[in-house]
């Protein structure tokens, strides 16, 4: 039987040749939100053989929406030109389809990159005032400014404008970042959203703003292009957002035209307790897929070809996404295909190293004396 992992899957007008995606990975290398040669190298490399769908790092809709001063943004013409440079390169030389993750950090913004400590940056030191659904800070960080009606409208408009720019650049797919404790996640979780108006309290109210943002973005995104959402399906904290609530969220998104859910977890509250092990989040992708009736992408400690094959073959998820696994091996999909007895497309420049064209493949991994 042929591999399920290397079977095609289609969403609207986009067909992927396999079920392997490169997950969004923050790089913290941008300059005032602008992509540079690092991004050209990073995405160019991953577009060659890591998976058939390559999703950019979280790309902020505004300067305030960045996690750190070095995060990628798409809210100026300069940003648009810089991102188009690496997208055009990937489309010309790579084999992957290109997706963008559109994001706003909310109360978790104005921080140092993780490599520099990841701590909040005071306004006096070049940071900025963060915003959120409520005036509740993350851990002991500074409290954000609670978004009023005008603020909500502005943020939604920023998401819409970045969505329009993403289409002009030529992305094949867009994904809203609704996880890891960032702004849209902050609205859905009762731990961070303690509003008393129509955007807080009940689950329906907590979902309202993220759903409004999705609906507005879907309306300006081409009908034949897929639009997905990544969200955290649980906070891993008592009293937080739950897996059952995540199913409701997924159903609402599906009704608005969402094509699949990229299922992640956590990131909202430092009290979270997670038993990290291979495939530790897959059961949530399976739950949402089966109970909400929507396609899902599983992420989190997916490291081997057979593990990924089993996830897709068993119906636990429709796709898998890898991050550190493809950082370690940018040709992960090539090697997975070889292990599972499948073939994948190689860029023309690298066609000579495809197993069928390279006699050395027969000896690779063997001790030669």
Active site residue ranges: 182
Q: How far apart are CA 35 and CA 73, in angstroms?
A: 8
Q: What is the 8-class DSSP label of residue 73?
A: B
CB within 8 Å of 173: residues ≥ 6 apart: 11, 14, 53, 55, 97, 98, 99, 100, 225, 226, 227, 228
Number of neighbours of residue 335 by Cβ within 10 angstroms: 14
The answer to whether 235 and 189 have CB atoms below 8 angstroms apart is yes
What distances in angstroms separate CA 117 from CA 111, 121, 130, 181, 270, one per listed residue? 9, 11, 19, 18, 16
Q: Quote the strand ranges of 91-178, DSSP E.
A: 97-103, 131-132, 145-146, 173-178
Residue with tokens 């960080």: 141
Q: Give me Rg for the CA atoms of the chain.
A: 20
β-bridge pairing 173-178 and 131-132:
unpaired
Cα dihedral value 337, 340, 342, 345, nearest 10 = -10
Indicate if the alpha-carbon torsion angle 329, 40, 175, 171 is positive or negative.
Answer: negative
Q: How far apart are CA 146 and CA 135, in angstroms?
A: 5
Of the CA atoms within 13 Å of residue 320, those in its CB half-sphere come to: 37
Cα dihedral value 124, 126, 131, 137, nearest 10 = -60
Q: If we measure between CA atoms, which residue out of 4, 102, 103 comes closest to residue 315?
A: 4
What distances in angstroms separate CA 21 from CA 6, 139, 181, 326, one per listed residue? 12, 32, 22, 10
The answer to whether 58 and 181 have CB atoms below 8 angstroms apart is no
């Amino acid at each position: 039987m042929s591999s399920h992992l290397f079977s095609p899957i289609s969403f609207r007008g986009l067909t992927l040749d396999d079920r392997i995606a490169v997950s969004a990975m923050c790089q913290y290398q941008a300059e005032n939100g602008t992509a540079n040669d690092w991004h050209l190298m990073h995405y160019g490399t991953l577009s060659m053989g890591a998976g058939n769908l390559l999703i950019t790092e979280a790309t902020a809709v505004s300067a305030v929406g960045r996690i750190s001063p070095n995060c990628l943004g798409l809210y100026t013409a300069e940003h648009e030109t810089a991102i188009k440079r690496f997208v055009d390169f990937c489309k010309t030389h790579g084999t992957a389809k290109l997706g963008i993750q559109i994001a706003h950090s909310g109360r978790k913004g104005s921080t140092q990159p993780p490599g520099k400590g990841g701590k909040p940056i005071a306004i006096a030191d070049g940071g900025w005032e963060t915003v959120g659904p409520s005036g509740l800070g993350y851990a002991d960080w500074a409290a954000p400014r609670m978004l009023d009606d005008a603020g909500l409208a502005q943020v939604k408009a920023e998401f819409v404008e970045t969505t329009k720019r993403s289409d002009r650049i030529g992305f094949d797919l867009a994904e809203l970042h609704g996880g890891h404790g960032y702004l849209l996640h902050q609205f859905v979780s009762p731990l961070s959203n303690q509003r008393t108006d129509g955007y807080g309290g009940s689950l329906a109210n907590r979902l309202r703003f993220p759903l409004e943002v999705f609906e507005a973005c879907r309306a300006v995104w081409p009908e034949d292009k897929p639009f997905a959402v990544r969200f955290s399906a649980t906070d891993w904290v008592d009293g937080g957002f739950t897996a059952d609530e995540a199913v409701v969220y997924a159903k609402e998104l599906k009704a608005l035209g969402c094509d699949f859910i990229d299922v992640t977890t956590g990131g909202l509250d430092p009290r979270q307790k997670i038993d990290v092990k291979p495939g530790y989040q897959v059961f949530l992708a399976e739950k949402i897929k089966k109970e909400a009736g929507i396609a899902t992408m599983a992420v989190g400690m997916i490291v081997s070809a057979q593990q990924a094959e089993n996830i897709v073959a068993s119906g636990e998820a429709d796709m898998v996404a890898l991050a550190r696994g493809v950082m370690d091996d940018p040709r992960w999909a090539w090697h997975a295909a070889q292990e599972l007895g499948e073939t994948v497309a190689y860029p023309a420049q690298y066609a000579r190293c495809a197993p069928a064209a390279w006699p050395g493949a027969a000896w690779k991994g063997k001790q030669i004396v």
